[in-house]
Amino acid sequence: MAILEKQSEKMEEKKDMKETTVQYHIRPSHYLDYDYDTSEFTLEIHIPGVAKSDIKIKFLEDAFSIEARRDTALYSISEYLPFDINVKSIKADYDNGLLRISGHIKNPLDEAYDIKIGP
């Protein structure tokens, strides 16, 4: 019986910790700018008061996910991009609550095949 009681106490403690850890889920405001002529994009996300070490950034070719924690608040956003990007070209900078991410847009015809017309 004592083991069951200890396990249920531990489960309740974990549950209480989760509830007190994140009290607010915030979708940060963001701005996406892109230019097909230069094949570049810039994504700006407002996450004030967050330490740089508490920001987690993940990118796929056509989507991104960003999470940042500050005290009891969790900023999170996940969205698809209207174009494919070169993930290796991404650079991020964080200053005064503004996360700025930039990179290059993939040209969809770079991997296209040339088709020759027969006689």
Q: Do the domain assignments include residue 111? A: no
Cα separations in angstroms, 43 against 15, 16, 30, 95: 36, 36, 7, 14
* Residue 14 maps to a domain: no
pLDDT of residue 119: 81
Q: What is the pLDDT of residues 27-79, one digit of tens each?
A: 999 999 999 899 999 999 999 999 999 999 999 999 999 999 998 999 999 99
Q: Domain of 64: which CATH number?
A: 2.60.40.790
In this prediction the pTM is: 0.75
Residue 13 lies in a domain: no
Is residue 16 situated within a structural domain?
no
Domain of 73 in residue numbering reads as: 21-105
pLDDT at 110: 83
Give the strand pairing for 24-26 and 73-80. parallel
CA 81 to chain centre: 12
Question: Is residue 15 in some structural domain?
Answer: no
**Is 2 inside any structural domain?**
no
Q: What is the count of structural domains for the chain?
A: 1
How far is residue 79's CA from residue 56's CA, in Å, rounded to a whole number? 15
Q: Is residue 7 part of a domain?
A: no
Q: Is residue 113 part of a domain?
A: no
